Amino acid sequence: MVDLVLKFVSSCRASGMRISTSEVLDCLRHLERIDCAREDEFRAALRTNFAKSVRELAHFDRLYRLFFHEFRLDAADVEAAGRFADQIGDLARRLAPEAAPEAEYRAVVDFLAGDPQGLLRALHRIRTESDASPQTVKFNLAPLEGRLKLLMQILRVGDVAQALVKSEMTDLDAADRRALAGHVGERLDRARALLMFEPLPDADGIRKNVDAGERLKQLGEKPFSSFTPREMEEMREAIGGLVRKLKNITSRRFAVRNRGALDVKKTLRAAARYNGVPLDLKYRRKALRKGRIVTLCDVSGSVWSAARFMLNLLYSLQDCFDRVHSFVFVDRLTEVTEIFDTHEVNEAIGRVLGKADVGFNATTDYGEMFRHFKRGYMEILTKKTTLIIIGDARSNYLSPEDAILGEMRDRCRRVIWLNPEPEAIWGTADSEIYTYAPWCHEVRPCRNLNQLIRFIEELVL
Amino acid sequence: MEYQSVDDVQERLTAAGYIPSREIATVVFLAEATQKPILVEGPAGVGKTELAKAVSRSLNRELIRLQCYEGLDEAKALYEWEYAKQLLYTQMVKGRINDIIADADTLTVAVDRIAAQEDAFFSDRFIQPRPLLQAISSEEPVVLLLDEVDKSDPEFEAFLLELLSDFQVSIPELGTRKAVRIPFVLLTSNNYRDMSDALKRRCVHLYIDYPERDLEIRIVRLKVPGVEEALVRSLVEAIRRIRALDLKKNPSISESIDWAQSLLALQARSLSPGVLSDTLNVVCKYQSDIEKVRKNLDRVLA
């Protein structure tokens, strides 16, 4: 039993789940107390110890099914695998001589023999490893290439194995030989299915946006992209009013913030007035926690019109936050925090557009942007940071690199994606929003002022 | 009064008014047997808090509940010194202090004498226990519920780690307090943010999803006994179809129960389109959701 669980744990780890030794120990202790012959209990014990968040559950279920059902490693009901155990072992030895050729080939043969670790690890690598070198011509090929390589090896192992069964296993009768060949074929089919199936974490946990109330009726419902210059001016005024209001609300909040511990010095000083009797207790004030914000703004085409209002609002409210870092990107990131620090908001927005090293002519590439962020800026994300990404997630069919967004999520408090496109066309054509969505805590449309205001209010208050 | 087996958990929770799935029962049993906290996640209204209440009823233990929110700190969660009382006592015993130091020759001796008395002021008498300290120092074992722990700050989460792994807390003036009886701890989370790995490692995890159809029917019948079975059946079917509609907020078990109650109050015999349309605001909490369901009435009642 211990051995079986350990094997399962290493398979889980190979495919990217984080399981600590203490969790394995807990699980083994738990298994002693239940009836392991009842599968629902056995499964519940494993699940409760190994899948510690909603997002890992789907992943766990998949591995569990693979390991305990499709594989039937040590279980007694394995008809084919049990009957042909020796032959399969023999086959595996013949398929992979000592000087193992490529790692992928080895992995596939191991899979055939009942050990999925190698294959799972290879798959995990393909999914998460990003293309380190940005080429002049961009390809989406690295993951595809890795997949193709594995697929070729599966086919190769299949061919060799079938030939071996035919020529070498002469001590079996024809029916058994057919059954063995069928079993080998089935396992390889499963390996192929694994390769083709893209696991995505469950997106159930993300919050859905709730519509803004009816405020600023006409202007508020108009998409940012269809503003005339005059309306732009009106908009700025409206934002100015809103900023004043929000600041009022927050300052009131500072005034009534929770009291902290007793302030002895102040209390004693106040007591002097009452002949040394401390009638009037003074408390130390607690500093209100302020959020840290990192924004990544897509400045290509239509998205910019939404992003500029968002930036305008954020920076007008800067004293409500601890620090605002902002980046703009088309295919690479450019840090613009400094421009906003040294210039007045509206002027700064104009300057960003004129900044030379933003590649306005390039095609949008979210994958490259994430790679760039990972290389250069990962350490600005802390557990206090709220990461806001504004963009349509249209990355011209280039690799989305959503695994990096996953890493970023691990480092910060919340990830919020604002999409200026209407919800109806999300996920169409090259939109990768649903690929990114599972990694975000919140995905919301941000097409007009009402939606934007609603969002900012939730952020500040 | 501990649970004997998974079956025992299932029976006793049912008797306490909560019908658990086999998985829930298994996790509760294991957590109780090995004294591990449970981190419960799941959509709003599936009965996360209710589970804690049912556990406390079935174990016949007191339930101590701490509602977490942003800005919650140790003073609200663990203990607070009663400053006013301390100061008042200092004033009242001023005379005694004079007696103590009356025959002290030097200032040093006087200070030493007062220092010898300082325990009198930092003692249990002046401590105001908050839920966590109550749970730790209770003579009887209790069930401790930390509700919506994802709303609290990361600092508070770090502070919880000591409590959850060793069942002890540190009070600087008094030293470390170990739990008299180890409480059964449940934490609930609505997935507002991810909990840290360190916290997750110390807990066993339980995800409660919307229940299977038959289970939901049993739950509704248990909670609203007066409704006819056929009506409950069609109600649960309708709820399940509404959940498939992709609403802003999916109706949960609590909505099913509310709905059954309002149907009972209206003395409805069957779920006709008219009845459904009239009672929709019990099921859906947003106007846009209500409209969406109205538009799809035929699909919901198919």
Is A81's pLDDT higher than 60? no
Overall average pLDDT of the A394-407 stretch = 84
Is A177's pLDDT higher than 80? no
Query: Do the chains contact at A18 and B39, CB–CB below 8 Å?
Result: no
DSSP bridge partners of A385: A292
**Which chain A residues have a beta carbon less than 8 Å from that of B91?**
277-278
Q: How distant is the Cα of B26 from the closest Cα of chain A, in angstroms? A: 6
Q: What pLDDT is attached to residue A76?
A: 40
| Pairing state between β A259-262 and A283-285 | antiparallel
Average pLDDT, chain B: 87
Overall average pLDDT of the B20-43 stretch = 91
| Pairing state between β A385-390 and A333-335 | unpaired
Q: Quote the CA–CA distance of A107 and A153 in Å, as a whole number.
A: 9
Q: Which residue has the higher pLDDT, B145 or B152?
A: B145
The band of B38, judged by pLDDT with boundaries at 50, 70 and 90, is very high
Q: How distant is the Cα of B62 from the closest Cα of chain A, in angstroms? A: 25
Is A79's pLDDT higher than 60? no
Q: Which residue has the higher pLDDT, A231 or B132?
A: B132
Overall average pLDDT of the A18-28 stretch = 91
Q: CB contact, 8 Å: B98 with chain A?
A: no
Q: How distant is the Cα of B263 from the closest Cα of chain A, in angstroms? A: 28
Q: What's the order of all strands across the beta sheet hosting A442-445?
A: A207-208, A442-445, A414-419, A385-390, A292-298, A323-329, A333-335
| Alpha helix positions (H), A294-430 | 301-316, 337-342, 345-354, 366-376, 402-411
Chain B residue closest to A283 (CA)?
B83
pLDDT tens track for B85-115 = 887 887 888 777 788 888 888 888 888 888 8
Q: What pLDDT is attached to residue A138?
A: 56
Q: What pLDDT is attached to residue A211?
A: 44
Q: CB contact, 8 Å: A214 with chain B?
A: no
The band of A255, judged by pLDDT with boundaries at 50, 70 and 90, is low
Is B25's pLDDT higher than 70? yes
Rounded to the nearest 5°, which phi and psi values hold at A330? -120, -65
Q: What pLDDT is attached to residue B10?
A: 92
Distances in Å between the Cα of B93 and the Cα atoms of A282, B81, B87, B106, B120 are 22, 19, 10, 22, 11
Q: Is B171 helix (H, G, I), strand (E, B) or coil?
A: strand
Overall average pLDDT of the A103-113 stretch = 74
Query: Do the chains contact at B201 and A57, CB–CB below 8 Å?
Result: no
Q: Quote the CA–CA distance of A72 and A85 in Å, as a whole number.
A: 12
Q: What pLDDT is attached to residue A213?
A: 41
Query: Do the chains contact at B22 and A52, CB–CB below 8 Å?
Result: no
**Which chain B residues have a beta carbon less than 8 Å from that of A211?**
288
Q: CB contact, 8 Å: B213 with chain A?
A: no
| DSSP conformational letter for A66 | I
Q: Quote the CA–CA distance of A85 and A135 in Å, as a whole number.
A: 48
Three-state helix/strand/coil letters over A303-326: HHHHHHHHHHHHHHCHHHCCEEEE
Q: How distant is the Cα of B60 from the closest Cα of chain A, in angstroms? A: 23
Is B191's pLDDT higher than 50? yes
Q: Quote the CA–CA distance of B29 and A128 in Å, as a whole number.
A: 37
- Which of A48, A256, A285, A451 to probe the B interface (max B CBs under 10 A)? A48
Q: Quote the CA–CA distance of A109 and A118 in Å, as a whole number.
A: 9
Q: CB contact, 8 Å: B91 with chain A?
A: yes
The two structure tokens encoding residue A132: 């380190």
**Which chain A residues have a beta carbon less than 8 Å from that of B193?**
413-414, 441
**Which chain B residues have a beta carbon less than 8 Å from that of A48?**
26-27, 30, 204-206
Q: Which residue has the tokens 């130390």?
A: A284
Overall average pLDDT of the A12-26 stretch = 87
Among the ranges given (A26-35, A229-238, A380-389), the one the predictor scored with the smallest mean pLDDT: A229-238
Task: Closest CB to B91: pick one of A53, A277, A288.
Answer: A277
- Give first-to-last CA distance, chain B, whole Å: 48
Mind giving me the DSSP string for A259-315?
EEEE-HHHHHHHHGGGTT---S--EEEPPPP--EEEEEEE-SHHHHHHHHHHHHHHH
The two structure tokens encoding residue A119: 């294959």
Query: Do the chains contact at B83 and A260, CB–CB below 8 Å?
Result: no
Q: What pLDDT is attached to residue B12?
A: 93
Q: What pLDDT is attached to residue A324?
A: 83
**Which of A55, A63, A61, A60 is CA-nearest to residue A203?**
A55
Among the ranges given (A212-226, A284-298, B21-35), the one the predictor scored with the smallest mean pLDDT: A212-226
Overall average pLDDT of the A85-90 stretch = 69
Q: What pLDDT is attached to residue A131?
A: 52
Q: Decide if A260 contacts A286 (C-beta within 8 A).
A: yes
Which residues, 6+ apart, have CB-to-CB distance to A407 below 8 Å?
Answer: A374, A378
Overall average pLDDT of the B218-244 stretch = 88
Q: What pLDDT is attached to residue B143?
A: 94
Among the ranges given (A72-81, A314-323, B220-229), the one the predictor scored with the smallest mean pLDDT: A72-81
pLDDT tens track for A374-385 = 888 888 888 888
Give the Cβ contact number of residue A196 at 10 Å: 8
Overall average pLDDT of the A326-330 stretch = 85
Q: Decide if B27 contacts B55 (C-beta within 8 A).
A: no
Q: Decide if A304 contacts A391 (C-beta within 8 A).
A: no
Is A40's pLDDT higher than 80? yes
Length of chain B: 302
Provide the number of CB pairs (under 8 Å) joining chain A to chain B. Answer: 99
Q: Quote the CA–CA distance of A296 and A372 in Å, as a whole number.
A: 12
Q: Decide if A259 contacts A268 (C-beta within 8 A).
A: no
Chain A residue closest to B210 (CA)?
A204
Percent of chain B scoring above 70 in pLDDT: 99
Q: What pLDDT is attached to residue B53?
A: 93
**Which 253-312 residues of chain A touch chain B by CB within 8 A?**
258, 260-262, 267, 277-278, 281, 286, 288-289
Overall average pLDDT of the A124-142 stretch = 60
The band of A288, judged by pLDDT with boundaries at 50, 70 and 90, is low
The band of B72, judged by pLDDT with boundaries at 50, 70 and 90, is confident
Is A269's pLDDT higher than 70? yes
Q: What pLDDT is attached to residue A72?
A: 57
Q: What pLDDT is attached to residue A323?
A: 80
Overall average pLDDT of the B140-164 stretch = 88
Q: What pLDDT is attached to residue A124?
A: 76
Q: How distant is the Cα of A18 from the closest Cα of chain B, in angstroms? A: 9
DSSP bridge partners of A417: A389, A443
Q: Is A171 helix (H, G, I), strand (E, B) or coil?
A: coil
Query: Do the chains contact at B205 and A47, CB–CB below 8 Å?
Result: yes
Q: How distant is the Cα of B88 from the closest Cα of chain A, in angstroms? A: 8
Q: Decide if B85 contacts B127 (C-beta within 8 A).
A: no
**Which chain B residues have a beta carbon less than 8 Å from that of A281?**
83-84, 87
Q: What pLDDT is attached to residue A428?
A: 82
The band of A73, judged by pLDDT with boundaries at 50, 70 and 90, is very low
**Which of A432, A426, A460, A461 is CA-nearest to residue A444?**
A426
Three-state helix/strand/coil letters over B116-138: HCHHHCCCHHHEEECHHHHHHHC
Q: How distant is the Cα of B46 from the closest Cα of chain A, in angstroms? A: 14
The band of B59, judged by pLDDT with boundaries at 50, 70 and 90, is very high
Overall average pLDDT of the A421-426 stretch = 82
Q: CB contact, 8 Å: A32 with chain B?
A: no
Is B136's pLDDT higher than 70? yes
Give the Cβ contact number of residue A133 at 10 Å: 6
The two structure tokens encoding residue A303: 């998205």
Overall average pLDDT of the A71-99 stretch = 59
Among the ranges given (A27-36, A178-187, A206-215), the one the predictor scored with the smallest mean pLDDT: A206-215
Overall average pLDDT of the A436-442 stretch = 86
Q: What pLDDT is attached to residue A74?
A: 42
How far is C-alpha A350 from the chain's CA centre? 33
Query: Do the chains contact at A51 and B205, CB–CB below 8 Å?
Result: yes
Highest-pLDDT range among A10-14, B17-21, B155-159, B169-173: B17-21
Query: Do the chains contact at B194 and A409, CB–CB below 8 Å?
Result: yes
Q: Decide if B21 contacts B215 (C-beta within 8 A).
A: yes
Q: How distant is the Cα of B93 from the closest Cα of chain A, in angstroms? A: 13
